């Protein structure tokens, strides 16, 4: 089950990517256990949520490298959407 620390870590990974920093500089606050995972980004506008990116795997992978990798892929490589821009961060929701 997703924890608040997982969402914070995904936002930190996204910020690092936007600032062209390595995600290795982020200190996660959770155990690096193996689990299937999905990272979903939504935009909240006028109380309404709209999908902005989503990617995941049903295979069990380590959460620390997996969450940062999938957060970045979901934000920048989901072919259904343009890459997320820094200007979108205030309305971005991670689930």
Predicted confidence (pLDDT) per residue in 2-45, tens digit: 889 999 999 999 999 999 988 777 888 899 999 999 999 999 98
Domain ranges of the chain: 4-94
Distance CA 76, CA 91 (A): 16
pTM: 0.89
DSSP for 20-79?
A: T--GGG----S---EEEEEEEEEEEETTEEEEEEEEEEEEEEEHHHHHHHHHHHHHHT-T
pLDDT for 95? 65
- The answer regarding whether domain 4-94 maps to CATH 4.10.520.10 reads no
């Amino acid at each position: 089950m997703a924890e608040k620390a997982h969402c914070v870590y995904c936002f930190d990974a996204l910020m690092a990517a936007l600032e062209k920093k390595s995600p290795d500089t982020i200190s996660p606050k959770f155990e690096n256990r193996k689990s299937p995972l999905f990272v979903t980004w939504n935009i909240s506008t006028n109380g309404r949520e709209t999908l902005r990116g989503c990617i995941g795997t049903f295979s069990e992978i380590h959460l620390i490298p997996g969450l940062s990798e999938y957060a970045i892929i979901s934000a920048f490589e989901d072919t259904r959407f343009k890459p997320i821009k820094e200007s979108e961060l205030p309305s971005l929701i991670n689930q």
